[in-house]
Each structure stands twice: as structure tokens, then as C-alpha cells.
Chains A and B, each alone.
Chain A
Amino acid sequence: MQPDTFNQHNASFQPLSNLWGNDEKALKELYNAEFFKTENYVLQNSGTPEQAKDIYQEAFIAVWRNVQLNRFVPQNDNALAGYLYQVAKNKWIDYLRSAYHKNTVGTGDMEREDEPVEVLPGEQSDFINQIKNGFKQLGNNCKEVLGRFYYKNENLKTIAAAMNWTEATARNNKYRCLQKLREFVKK
């Protein structure tokens, strides 16, 4: 076991802290950082603007997830942006080489680069997908509480005030919502 991998943030790297904390400004900056470069790459290699957008958003979420899970700990902005571009490029190459395309689009000398992060184990990836699907099916109150607490980093006092609850009720409701989410995980 490697317990220290659970919280391995690079404290000296502020943008990453912002990303980890879901600071929207940092997220948008990262999104902007490599989009057009990725789009150029996709357009130069048989893709459309819509496909460039889809593949980039997929890569963006994948990179964000690896940062959240401390699977990728970049030392600076450039490393993070470079990794995002690399993941997006690889995803596009994978797409072109997929069964659907391999007979129609040649990938010629497009080389897939090794990524510094291994694929998330299947059971963990499945778990995340089940929770995400569960979240979509939650009632509005649960979505609101969990979204405010985890995505917007609001504390329970603030959430309680916004929802017209006491802080204790907010804490209980948050826990009940988490229990509901757990019900969506296949046993």
C-alpha cells in the first residue's frame, strides 16, 4: 500500500491547487491553453471542428481526473498543458485507429506518445461512472448540496443559509445524499 499517494499535491504550484480546488478560472485557463493547438492537429488529420471539440473535452476531463486522483502531479503550468495536449492527441490517434475508421483513414506516421499515467484500474473507473450516473438521477436538493459542497467548495454553513436549513440539517442531508449515491453502485 502507498498511503501517501492519496494527497500528493504540489503545494508550491498554485495553479494546480486551484485546479484541484475546482477554481473555475484555473479550469477555463487550462481549457483555453491547448484547445486551438489540438483543433489544428485534428483538422490536419482528417477531423472536423466538432470532433476536435469532443476529443478535447474528453481529454480535458481525463486529465482533470488524473490530477484529482494524484495520478499526475505536474510541476508547472507547461507540464500540465503539455500533458493535456498529449492525451488529446493520443485520443485522436486511437479514434482514427478504431475499428470504424481503420479502413477509411490512414494514420500513416502518426505516432502515439507514451503517457506518464497508466490507465485507471477497471473497477475504479466503473465505480466513478456508476457514481456519475447516480448523480444525474439524484433529486435537485441532493444535486445542489453535493454540487455546492464538492464542486464549488462551499462550506456547510453557507449551504445551510442558501437552502434555508440549519447547519446540522445540511450535514445530515449531505450524508443522506451520499448514501443514495452508494445505492447506484453495483454490488
Chain B
Amino acid sequence: MNLNHNISPEAFDEIESYLSQKMTAATQAAFNQRLVTDTVLHQQVKQVQLTITAIKEQALQERVDSFHEALPERAGKTVSLTSKSPWKTWLVAASVLLAIAAGGFWILTKQSPAEKRFSTYFKPDPGLISAMSTTDNYVFDKAMIDYKTGNYREAITAWQGLMKNDQNNDTLNYFVGVGYVALKETKTAIPYLEKVVATAQSYFAKDACWYLGLALVKEERLKEAIERISNSEHPQKEQLLQELYK
């Protein structure tokens, strides 16, 4: 396709007004007719369209960093205490390994098939990065640090305190829900996660589908579990669904 036509100012203006839908309906219909038979005009329209797109795209590209800087605080995530404290991560990992070494065999032999499946697929949500910089979010962020260091009960208590004034907050419902899932108190987790899933616009809706599905797996409510997991976007969703369909 030739994209290097020398287009006159008048032709350029005409194509521009066609592309931006500023023509009258009749003129546009006539222009469309010309496009069907006139290959050169078709190429010129493509050339103008790509030129305008490139100009706008370059201008947008120069602004996109400012969009990033203006991201909302909720997940604003500037400083992660846990991610900047590798020893904490190491301690958590070490304690998990110790727990597995001490009681892993017992757990594996005593778990029901549903619990085993749950344990195979469950990994805690990594949580949000905690800024710890603003008073407004202090309680939330402190609880997030508890959550990320495995102190799920403390985190849940703090978030439930915040929920007294904001029962439908999807972020709070989600983290209370996944906190209970992490504690394997899946029956308690389900209503919190259902609330998030019901909020289709929620940023957490798809992730909530996954954890809700896992909670339902553990509760042996397989039909509902399949429905929820199908609506998630988790990388392991197909694998788990295949197991559940067996």
C-alpha cells in the first residue's frame, strides 16, 4: 500500500472531516461510494488516518507518565515495608518451611480431597503495597502489613473496624474475605467475597471469583465453585476446572 501520497490541503481537509465524522450524512455516503472504487483515495484516507493517529499517539506517550503519577492512593503503593524488609520475608518463608516440616505429613494424610485440592491451588493474595504515609489510610495500611506477614486475624479485625462505616467497600470486603480464606475459615469468607463478586465494576471482582471458587471447593459446593472459577482470570483456572469436571 502506498502511504506516501502528496495530498493537497483541500483533499487533506476533506479526508480529515470524513474521518472525524464532520460531513453531512449525504456527503459521507457519497465519499463512501468513492472509496469503494477509488484505490488511491482509499490509500490517502489510510495515510491521513495513520498520520493523525501517530501525532496523537506521540502526544499521548509524552503524557502517560503523568497519568501514572496521578494514580489513586488506594493502591497507590509507593513504599512496601514488607518488600523493603527481606528479612521479614525470609522469616515468614522459614516459618512456613518449619511448619511444613513439623506438621506437613499429618496435614497431608488427614485432609479431605476437597481440602487437599484447596491447599494445592490456594496461594494468598499478595496484598497491596502499604504507603504508611497518610493518616487517613494508616489503619488500612497497618492491617495490610499484618496481612502480608501472615497475621490474618489481626488484619481482619482492623479491616472489620473500618467496615463499620463502610460496609459495602469492595476493597475491605475483598481483603477480609481473602484473609478468612487464608485462615481456611472458608464458610465465613464466602459472604464477603460474594459481595465483591456482585460488584461487577470492582477492581477485585475477578480475583474475588477465584478465591470464592476456592472457598466453595473447600466447602464441597462444586457447582457454585465451577461457576465462580469460570468467571475468574486466574492463570490456573483451566487446570482446576478440568479437575473439577472429572
Q: Are A61 and B3 in contact (CB under 8 A)?
A: no
Q: Are B60 and A178 in contact (CB under 8 A)?
A: no
Give the bracket for the number of chain A residues in contact with chain B: 35 or more
Q: Are B1 and A61 in contact (CB under 8 A)?
A: no
A residues 170-187 in Cβ contact with B at 8 Å: 171, 175, 178, 181-182, 185, 187
Chain B nearest Cβ from A68, distance in angstroms: 5
Q: How far is the CA of A40 from the CA of B12 in the complex (A)?
A: 45
Which stretch in B44-52, B93-101, B136-144, B185-193 binds the other chain?
B44-52
Which secondary structure dominates chain B's binding surface? helix
The answer to whether A178 and B51 touch (CB under 8 A), given A22-B60, A43-B126, A151-B59, is yes
B residues 48-89 in Cβ contact with A at 8 Å: 49-61, 63-65, 67-68, 70-72, 75, 77
Is B239 engaged at the interface, CB distance under 8 Å to the other chain? Answer: yes
Q: Are B50 and A128 in contact (CB under 8 A)?
A: yes
Give the bracket for the number of chain B residues in contact with chain A: 35 or more
Is B220 engaged at the interface, CB distance under 8 Å to the other chain? Answer: no
Q: How far is the CA of A33 from the CA of B201 in the complex (A)?
A: 10
Q: Are A109 and B236 in contact (CB under 8 A)?
A: yes
Residues from chain A with Cβ under 8 Å of B46 in the complex: 124
Q: Apart from A4-B32, A35-B75, A49-B129, what 14 extra A-B contacts exist at CB < 8 Å?
A: A3-B42, A6-B45, A32-B67, A32-B72, A33-B203, A40-B125, A43-B126, A61-B61, A109-B236, A128-B54, A132-B54, A150-B59, A151-B55, A151-B56
